[in-house]
Structure 1
Amino acid sequence: MSRAAELRRQQALLRALLQTPPPAAPPPGARALGTVSLPRGLQAYRGHAKALAAQTLAAVFGRLQQALGETEFAAMAWAFWRACPPQRGDLGCWGQALPEFLRDQPGMPAWLPDLARLEWAAHQAERALDAELDAGSLQLLAEQETDRLCLRLRPGLQLLSLLGSAAARWPLDLAGSADEHLIVLVWRQGWRAEARVLDADQAMFMQGLLQGQCLQQTLDQTLSAHAGFDFAAWLQAALSEAWLQAVIPFSEPS
């Protein structure tokens, strides 16, 4: 069988598996089921896909599963599989679109998509490339002007704006209302994802760094809005919590 023919066969089988209700006649790809009766064979494949969808998402979105309950979560996972099937063999890459999928569902509480965003960010942090602190690069802070430097943060680190009711499911230390939006930092420390609610000044400073601004511009913007921002305290936290990867020369974006 040619490669193109095999691809068409697989695509036909996939369409049959995702079709609801099951097709009355078997698709060309169903011939691969051999001697098993075709409707039963498709049902077996479909049952396996349903179980795999729920297991794969539960491994990432465990708190979302707790919030929905196993039965509703499994139904949601299968609906998501049909709407946004995996595009790669590595199922660890599947799930990025789940928050948007949830947001589009009628009557969905707003905090559930936010909880999914938080859990996906944690998943990405744990899968991010390893990056050790370049301790020697810290010397540049004493040798160079801050407008000629920028700070590179660790891979996988993200800032998220989340409803307090979603952040509380992590759980995180919260001081505001469940309906209030909080800025949550997600990063990896060791092999485990961590999350923390940031004060507004720290959030603004780290957002500037993530946007690739030079250190001086980031400091100026932060201090203009939050005069009490303490860079030395932030740097100490960045080193102890494994946020910072390196101090590097700043280059203007092309």
Structure 2
Amino acid sequence: MSAALETRRQDELLAVLRGAQPSAAVRLAEQGERLGRGLAAYRANAATIAARSLVAAYPTLHALVGEDDFAALARALWRHSPPIRGDLAQWGGDLAEFIEAERDLDPWPYLADCARLDALVMRCESAADAVLERDSLALLAERAPDELRLCLLPSVQLLSSAWPVASVHAAHRQGAQGDDERTAPAAVAFAAARRALDAGRGEAVLVARSGWRAVVHVVDPCDFAWMQSLQRGDPLADALAAAGDAFDFNAWLMRSLQQAWLWRAEAIDREA
């Protein structure tokens, strides 16, 4: 069976699981009463499958809310927006927005952004490969700032949050490595996250690869505004204006080369 036909079969099977009548394309082995019982079993287990598919994508959120509440959240999301593709790895991208709309979760307003950061970590690690095009940086000396743009690597992700999402992520990542809150350095990480939450401190976050793994960096507001402008494709002059007078371009350029954030410089064709 071709990949396209298999994808179609999976998509139609999901439609059947949501209640649609099976078509010839699904080619189910069972029919009649046996088919009905089988579909009922699949539907009954759908929430469990949904929860398992989300745990890998949202490990920080899973750690924050716990096994039972995370499973309940997955079941609620499944009912609200069931998958439309056969690949469950592609489902759950709207979890953060779903959390924000759930009034029962209002006492924990940081959960949605923690989910967003989890999603950006996965997006970073699955992004297309690219490396610094070092020769293109010669354009920095050859072009005026309004005739040039800088491009971040496709794997680089940005998030500005009113909550200390990077601190929370770091604490739970330490816990995932086998330490609990009573041991150092996990105790230090959890204490720092709690202090930041109690203070209502926000964090601007950049996610970038180190090798094949995503690393979460906290950046200052000037650097964040600068990189956000770069991601929009703004000319260098506009990005500098967005960053403000406190922005240190040379310091950022050095750090971006050390941390592998920068992809290339591009000349802007004003006649295009």
* Contact 1:11–1:29 under 8 Å retained in 2: no
The DSSP-based 3-state class of the residue aligned with 2:225 is helix
> Kindly tell me: are residues 166 and 229 of structure 1, through their superposed partners in 2, closer, same or farther at Cα, counting changes over 3 Å?
closer
Structure 1 pair 212/9, CA: closer, same or farther in 2 (3 Å)?
closer
- For residues 183 and 84 of structure 1, do their structure 2 counterparts lie closer, same or farther at Cα, with a shift above 3 Å needed? same
Residues 1:250 and 2:249 are matched in the alignment: no
How many Å separate the matches in 1 of 2:96 and 2:114?
Answer: 8
Note the aligned Cα RMSD (angstroms): 3.0
**Structure 1 letter corresponding to 2:139:** L
Letter in 2 for 1:236: M
What is the identity, as a one-letter code, of the residue corresponding to 1:147? D
1:152, distance to aligned residue in structure 2 (A): 0.7
Normalising by structure 1, what TM-score?
A: 0.81
Percent of aligned pairs sharing the same letter:
38
> Mean Cα displacement is larger for which, 126-135 or 179-188?
179-188
| Alpha-carbon shift at residue 89 of structure 1 (Å) | 3.1
1:159 match: 158
Query: TM-score, normalized by length of structure 2?
Result: 0.76
- Unpaired segments ≥5 residues, structure 1: 17-26
Specify whether residues 115 and 7 from structure 1 end up closer, same or farther in structure 2 by C-alpha distance, changes over 3 A only: closer
Classify 1:193/1:11 alpha carbon distance in 2 versus 1 (closer, same or farther; 3 Å): closer
1:230 aligns with 2:233: no
Q: Secondary structure at the match of 2:18?
A: helix
Alignment match of 1:49 (pick from 46, 49, 52): 46
- Equivalent residue, structure 2, for 1:22: none
Point out 4+ residue stretches in structure 1 off by more than 3 angstroms: 6-12, 27-40, 172-177, 251-254
- The change in CA–CA distance for 1:9 and 1:206 in structure 2 (over 3 A counts) is closer
Match of 1:182 among 203, 221, 236: 203
Identify the structure with bigger relative contact order (alpha carbons < 8 Å, sequence gap 6+).
Answer: 2
- Give the number of aligned pairs: 237
Q: Which position in structure 2 is the counterpart of 1:191? A: 212
1:67 aligns to what SS in structure 2? Answer: helix
| 2:17 counterpart of 1:14 | yes
Aligned to 1:213: 234
The answer to whether the Cα contact below 8 Å between 2:206 and 2:219 also exists between their aligned partners in 1 is yes
8 Å contact from structure 1 (residues 187, 193) kept in 2:
yes
CA contact (8 A) 1:9 1:28 kept: no
**For the Cα contact (< 8 Å) 2:61–2:111, is it kept in 1?**
yes
Structure 2 residue 83 is the aligned partner of structure 1 residue 86: yes
- Where does residue 175 of structure 2 map in the other structure? none
Shift of 1:42: 3.0
Cα-to-partner distance string for 1:66-113 (whole Å, 9 max, x where unaligned): 111111211211221222122223333222100011111122121111
Letter in 2 for 1:77: A
Q: Which amino acid aligns with 2:162?
A: L
Q: Does 1:203 align with 2:224?
A: yes
Shift of residue 9 of structure 1? 7.4
**8 Å Cα contact 2:14/2:86 also seen in 1:** no
Q: 1:151, 1:247 within 8 Å by CA — same for their partners in 2?
A: yes
Gap runs ≥5 in structure 2: 172-188
Distance 1:136 1:74 in 2: 50
